[in-house]
Amino acid sequence: MKQRIFSGIQPSGVIHIGNYLGAIRNWINLLDKYECIFAVVDYHAITVTYKPTELQDRILEAAKTLIAAGLEPEKCTLFVQSQIPEHTELTWIFNAITPVSDLERMTQYKDKKYQNMDNINSGLLTYPLLMASDILLYKAQVVPVGDDQVQHLELVREIARRFNNRFGVTFPEPQPLLSKAQRIRGLDGNAKMSKSQNNYIALVEEEDELWNKLRVAVTDPARKRRNDPGNPCICNIFTLHSYFSSDEEIKWVEKGCKTADIGCIDCKKTLFKNVNNHMKPLREKKKELDKNQNYVRNVLENGRKRCSRQARETMEEVREKIGVFY
């Protein structure tokens, strides 16, 4: 029996190469080894200000991008979180067993509070409870996460433990599977690349736009003129080379930058070539899916049906254990 993994992505904007390097590429490598469930977690995305008229498109775009990137529907289950109401039902139950102080100490909540001063809603605080439901509803044993989600996953494990102690063993304590990629910085060279920050390169960025974005991306700020030597260690463009370029090219960039033999534009042109080559098949696959929306809707509907069954079973067990009538 393969172990089950669950992971999700928010349709809070366009999927970018940070999401790809930090999460999606890792998910693709797990497809054969695990029973994989992936969700477009739209209820997580409504905790920040958004336009309801755009959300449906974003959900479909996210699903298409995931499939185009390599999440083959034959090898995994892909669905949309809001299609399965048990996610929010279980969240409520977890609300009732989780101390507020556990939620208040989450660093992501503290960060999001400051990023959304005009909309500090309780969904930002209870985000880990919905995440716990996403994972535990399917009794997933393993969760691929980036550094930023480790604290949340510890809380998920604590919630599973607390529930099991109080109501009898129901949930596994899911183990983290840490992604090797670091936190990818945005085009500003500093902040985390984020869908909501407009500092990203989309995973299916068109060729022209890709170059326009790379051309102005921040490099080593101390390298002001072409003849100044640069420091690749602090340059975000150099970090991106490490994911997309060959060892030889990386050495060439490192040496050329330190000695000022090459300028930032030469370095960016090489990165552009490699990122573009990497993305080309993804872009083409995504365009095929754009023309075949029904196929994508069917994939999501099949995913919904498969997950619904499991979600219903878990909730029947949970309702019985907590003592409500059904």
User: Shortest distance, CB of residue 22 to ligand AQP, whole angstroms?
Assistant: 2
For residue 185, the 8-state DSSP code is B
Residues annotated as catalytic are 112, 192, 195
Member of 2, 33, 183, 226 binding ligand AQP (CB under 6 A): 183
Q: Taking CB positions, which residue lies at the least distance from ligand AQP?
A: 22
The answer to whether 315 and 89 have CB atoms below 8 angstroms apart is: yes
User: Shortest distance, CB of residue 281 to ligand AQP, whole angstroms?
Assistant: 21
Binding-residue total with ligand AQP (CB under 6 A): 22
Q: One symbol per residue from 191 to 230: x for binding ligand AQP (CB under 6 A), - otherwise; what is it?
A: -xxxxxx---------------------------------
Q: Burial code of 53-82, b = ≥16 C-beta within 10 A, e = fewer? A: eebeebbbbbbbbbbbbbbebeebbbbbbb
For residue 106, the 8-state DSSP code is -
User: Shortest distance, CB of residue 101 to ligand AQP, whole angstroms?
Assistant: 23
Q: In what order do the strands lie in the sheet with 175-178?
A: 76-80, 35-40, 4-9, 142-145, 175-178
Member of 57, 72, 104, 148 binding ligand AQP (CB under 6 A): 148
Binders of ligand AQP among residues 86 to 145 (CB under 6 A) are 145
State how far the Cα of 82 lies from the Cα of 117, in Å rounded to an integer: 26
Q: Measured from the CB atom, is 18 or 263 closer to ligand AQP?
A: 18
Phi/psi of residue 61, each to 5°? -60, -45
State how far the Cα of 295 lies from the Cα of 321, in Å rounded to an integer: 39
Q: Is 18 in the site for ligand AQP (CB under 6 A)?
A: yes
State how far the Cα of 302 lies from the Cα of 292, in Å rounded to an integer: 16
Q: Measured from the CB atom, is 156 or 318 closer to ligand AQP?
A: 156
Taking CB under 6 A as the binding criterion, the range among 123-131, 190-198, 255-263, 296-304 that sits at the site for ligand AQP is 190-198
State how far the Cα of 115 lies from the Cα of 120, in Å rounded to an integer: 9
Residues that bind ligand AQP (CB under 6 A): 9-10, 12-13, 18-19, 21-23, 145-146, 148-149, 181, 183-184, 192-197
